[in-house]
Structure 1
Amino acid sequence: MNEDGRTGDAPPAAVVLSGFGRVGQAYARWLADAHADGAPLRLAAVRTSTAQWLPPRDADWTSPPRPLPEPLPGIAETLARTRATVLVQAVPSTPEAREWATVEAVTALRAGVHVVTAAKAHLLSGWRELAAAARSGGALVRLSAATGAALPAGDLARSGVRGLGCRSVRACPNGTSTFVLDRLADGGTLAGALAEARRLGIAEGDPSADLSGQDAATKVALLAALLWGWDASAVRWRTEPVGEDTASAARAAAERGRRLRAVASAAADTPHEVRVRLEATAPGDPIHALTGPEKAVTYVCPEAGDITVSGGRSSPLGAALALLKDTLDVVERRHHGFR
């Protein structure tokens, strides 16, 4: 018997991957490497919005096939056919994908299949429905990739600061806005900064959610829901966007030795509210220290002291690694010892 209580010849857990863009492809490659290194995982199916592929065990993920060759069955059929343990969602956080992601997640959870997701839209709109489905099926939901990619902010909110009396959250969780603001402070243009961010894989093709503050507000709303039991779908937010007229404020902050940042905040004493403001942060502030597309989240715990996690650059690979971390978490649940 292994350390985690499974027999040594137990088969690897079957993973169904929904979404096969840059994040999904990176996840598939890294999962294959993790399996080769002994992680108890196997990619049993890949789904897009129109088709499905059941890969052989020796699939070469350096050049995944396109298009996926098998017509798309219902998610329940796929989960049953593969005997899935985990559904991994690497689908876009768009209104168009929201209903699809919700149906897949709810179906999986009710069937006792854990859900690991990088998508945010269905978490916001269906928080209560997903929670109820998870309870009925005895399954877990993990959303690290939706709250900061490789930055383990979600883990801290869910369990790392539990019992420490966290009263508020102050965060800079959107790497694109930080990258753009630094370029504006250096004298660049908004168009030039966005073009460079896209070239480096930091920004999406449509950066409107990043620049409007919506992405930062969404991430902090999800963290607050994990921290204080809020219904994420009921959270309201006010945001201050990054635009053409922000350049002068970014340069003025730099001249004073400060850095302009899009800072999202929430407080336990102000339920279901998130604010995103452009702040001229000073040296010594963890958010001031960020460079390029890095992120930071500070959990303000009056008695225990502030706890900050920072780093975790924005990239498809960072999101994929967060998905892999969460997959290992739900599969390798320890019931004894130090883990």
Structure 2
Amino acid sequence: MKHAAVTPVNVVLSGLGRVGRAFVEHIHSHGDDLAREYGVHVRVKTVRAGTEQCLLDGDGPVPPRSDWRPLTPLRSALNGAEADIFVQAIPSTPALREFAAEEALTALRNGVHVVTATKSHLLTHWSRLGQAAAESGTRIRISGATGAALPAGDLARSAMRGLGCNGIRACPNGTATFVLDRLAAGDSIDDAVREAQRRGIAEADPSADLSGADSATKLKLMAALLWAWNPECVRVESDEIDAGTSERAVAVAARGGRLRAVAQAHLAAPHLVRVVLEETAPGDPLYALAGPEKAVTFQSPDGGDVTVSGGRSHPLGAALSLVRDIIDIASPHRGFR
């Protein structure tokens, strides 16, 4: 569908790691297609990374680092870019949590919407971020923090409204699913992790994937969107994937099952997320996952279970989720759109 009117959207990006770079490259190569298809012309005006930043012409590639300049205060960068949306793609590490929170709060308090793939500050500053957005009339979108290309966050935020969802059951971490299947095939855990890293599925440090921490984080955020749970108050119980898991994965496979790291939350157990190593059987959507695929089932007693699965565990998948959230905020919705 070609849009007669196109809305320009100015973006300031924080973070130029694998996700941030994939985001800029996608906008550079597909910006005209997005404008034609959705009526949104996304222009990345400023990129901030580390202690430096660079200005873009809105449609061009990122210049070499020799052309970058020292960071200016974020408020100045937002004003200078006439920013509509602030995009975060910095690592979800404890060391950057406060920095990510202050960046997001600054943007919101200056009337700029926030789209983030960064998780850490959402877990600790959820209430403050929500209050800042409410006071400034801005919006926060977190698809990239809940499953990359998998649109689970969108379902939790809006599509499940009115269906009476009382539980979530999910495999939201592609690395965990991939590693468990490799263990079932006879690989050692070290070999399985190395292969996941070689394919770009696992991070250099996969500890959050194997411990269940990443899955628990994503469930916390989905529960916050779905039931208004404050992630700061949610407890976690988690099984870990380690060298001792190999024998169990092989035994489950011999019985025709597949071992999965299943994250669960339920209204009957408020503010609790559990990640358990569970034997799944044919017919279970989580059993059917292949490689690094992810899946989330929203359980509705009256409406029936709703499952979404697939989505790339890859920087481009996370980058595309940022694009999706920008379009959601900026699209001039009309008719069936």
TM-score interval, normalised by the smaller of the two chains: over 0.9
1:272 offset after TM fit, Å?
1.0
1:68 offset after TM fit, Å?
6.0
CA separation in 2, counterparts of 1:263 and 1:281? 9
Letter in 1 for 2:204: G
Matched ranges for 1:87-166 at <5 A:
87-166=86-165
Match of 1:50 in 2: 51
Q: Aligned in 2, Cα 1:140/1:190: closer, same or farther, shift over 3 Å? A: same
Q: Aligned in 2, Cα 1:253/1:327: closer, same or farther, shift over 3 Å? A: same
Match of 2:258 in 1: 259
Matched ranges for 1:225-244 at <5 A:
225-244=224-243
CA separation in 1, counterparts of 2:29 and 2:136? 30
Q: Does 1:316 align with 2:303?
A: no
150-159 vs 94-103, greater mean Cα deviation = 94-103
Q: Over the residues paired in the alignment, what is the CA RMSD in angstroms?
A: 1.5
Match of 1:303 in 2: 302
1:24 offset after TM fit, Å?
0.4
27-36 vs 148-157, greater mean Cα deviation = 27-36
Q: TM-score, normalised by structure 1?
A: 0.95
Q: Deviations over 1:295-326 (max 9, x none)?
A: 00000000000000000120001000111111
Secondary structure, counterpart of 1:288 in structure 2: coil
CA separation in 2, counterparts of 1:57 and 1:266? 42
Matched ranges for 1:198-217 at <5 A:
198-217=197-216
CA separation in 2, counterparts of 1:271 and 1:292? 32
Match of 2:218 in 1: 219
Q: Deviations over 1:193-239 (max 9, x none)?
A: 11111111100010000000000000001000000011111111000
Identity of aligned residues (%): 55
Q: TM-score, normalised by structure 2?
A: 0.95
Q: Deviations over 1:118-159 (max 9, x none)?
A: 011000010001001100111111111100000000000000
Secondary structure, counterpart of 1:55 in structure 2: strand
1:33 offset after TM fit, Å?
2.7
**Does the CA-based 8 Å contact 1:111-1:137 persist in structure 2?**
yes
CA separation in 1, counterparts of 2:204 and 2:6? 45
Letter in 2 for 1:31: I
Secondary structure, counterpart of 1:244 in structure 2: coil
**Which runs of at least 4 in structure 1 moved beyond 4 Å after TM superposition?**
none
1:57 offset after TM fit, Å?
3.8
CA separation in 2, counterparts of 1:68 and 1:192? 41
Q: Deviations over 1:149-176 (max 9, x none)?
A: 0000000000011100000000000000
Letter in 2 for 1:267: H
CA separation in 1, counterparts of 2:59 and 2:127? 39
Q: Does 1:30 align with 2:26?
A: yes
Q: Does 1:189 align with 2:188?
A: yes
1:9 offset after TM fit, Å?
7.1
160-169 vs 35-44, greater mean Cα deviation = 35-44
CA separation in 2, counterparts of 1:200 and 1:218? 23
Question: In the comparison of the two structures, how many residue pairs are matched?
Answer: 331
CA separation in 2, counterparts of 1:120 and 1:298? 21
1:13 offset after TM fit, Å?
1.1
Match of 1:271 in 2: 270
Q: Does 1:59 align with 2:60?
A: yes
Unmatched segments (≥5 aa) in structure 1: none
Unmatched segments (≥5 aa) in structure 2: none
